[in-house]
C-alpha cells in the first residue's frame, strides 16, 4: 500500500462502481443461497436474523434490477423516478386528482407540483376540470405520455414476466402476500391491485 498522502487502499474499487458488483455481489449471492439451503429443513428458520437480512439484501438488488431498465429510458429525456411514478399512476387511474396522486406517492404538494409542471410542459400530462365538481382538477396522460408509459412499463413487465415464469404460480402468490404485508396498510386497497393494461 502506498504511503502517499490521499492514497486509499480502496482506490481501485472506488474508481468504478461496477467493480464493487464484480467483487462483492457474487459473495453476497452465494451467502444468501447457502443460508437458504441450510435453513430449508426448518420452516420457522426464515424468521432468523440471518434470513431477514438476506431478504433485505435480496430486495435491494431486485429493486436495483427492476429500476435499471426504465432508468435508462428516463435518462434520455432527463427525467427521474418521480416522473416515472407519476406517469405510472396517472395511467393506472385516469382522471386521478392531484390530491389523490399526492396520497399515492406520499410526497408533498410542492414536490408533486414540480414533477407535474415538467410533465405538463413536455405535453405528457394534461389537466381537465372535473365533470361532477368543477373545482377539482383531474390528470390524464396525453398520447405522448401514454407512449412513454408503455416504453417504461414494457421494460419492467418483461423482467417481471420472466421472473414469474421462472418462479411459478405458487411462488408468485406468496410473493404478492409478502409485498402486501410489507407495504403500509393504507395502500392495500384493491384500487392498487386493479387489472388492465
Domain ranges in the chain are 12-78, 80-184
Phi, psi at residue 139, to the nearest 5°? -110, 135
Distance CA 26, CA 80 (A): 29
From the candidate CATH numbers 3.40.710.10, 1.10.1270.20, 1.10.10.10, 1.20.1440.60, the one assigned to the domain spanning 80-184: 1.10.10.10
The pLDDT, as a whole number, for residue 29 is 57
Distance CA 184, CA 189 (A): 10
Secondary structure element (H or E) that encloses residue 124, with its range: none
CB atoms within 10 A of CB 172: 14
The pLDDT, as a whole number, for residue 19 is 43
Distance CA 8, CA 106 (A): 40
Grid cell of 36 as nine digits:
437458504
The pLDDT, as a whole number, for residue 161 is 97
Distance CA 139, CA 151 (A): 20
The pLDDT, as a whole number, for residue 194 is 52
What dihedral do alpha carbons 129, 131, 136, 138 form, nearest 10°? -60
DSSP 134: T
SS3 of the chain: helix, strand, coil, percent, to 5: 70, 5, 25
Beta bridge partners of 125: 141
- Positions in the chain whose pLDDT score sits under 50: 1-23, 190, 195-196
Q: Structure pTM? A: 0.72
Amino acid at each position: 500500500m502506498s504511503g502517499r498522502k490521499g492514497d486509499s487502499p480502496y482506490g481501485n474499487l472506488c474508481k468504478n462502481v461496477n467493480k464493487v458488483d464484480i467483487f462483492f455481489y457474487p459473495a453476497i449471492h452465494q451467502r444468501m443461497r447457502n443460508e437458504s439451503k441450510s435453513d430449508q429443513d426448518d420452516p420457522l428458520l426464515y424468521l432468523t436474523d440471518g434470513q431477514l437480512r438476506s431478504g433485505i439484501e435480496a430486495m435491494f438488488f431486485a429493486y436495483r434490477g427492476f429500476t435499471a431498465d426504465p432508468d435508462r429510458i428516463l435518462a434520455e429525456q432527463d427525467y427521474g423516478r418521480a416522473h416515472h411514478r407519476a406517469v405510472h399512476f396517472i395511467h393506472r387511474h385516469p382522471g386521478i386528482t392531484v390530491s389523490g396522486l399526492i396520497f399515492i406517492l406520499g410526497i408533498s404538494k410542492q414536490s408533486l407540483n414540480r414533477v407535474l409542471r415538467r410533465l405538463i410542459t413536455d405535453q405528457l400530462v394534461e389537466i381537465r376540470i372535473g365533470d361532477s365538481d368543477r373545482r377539482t382538477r383531474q390528470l390524464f396522460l396525453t398520447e405522448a405520455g401514454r407512449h412513454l408509459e408503455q416504453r417504461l412499463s414494457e421494460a419492467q413487465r418483461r423482467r417481471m414476466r420472466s421472473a414469474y415464469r421462472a418462479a411459478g404460480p405458487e411462488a408468485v402468490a406468496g410473493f404478492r402476500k409478502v409485498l402486501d404485508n410489507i407495504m403500509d396498510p393504507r395502500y392495500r386497497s384493491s384500487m392498487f391491485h386493479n387489472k388492465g393494461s
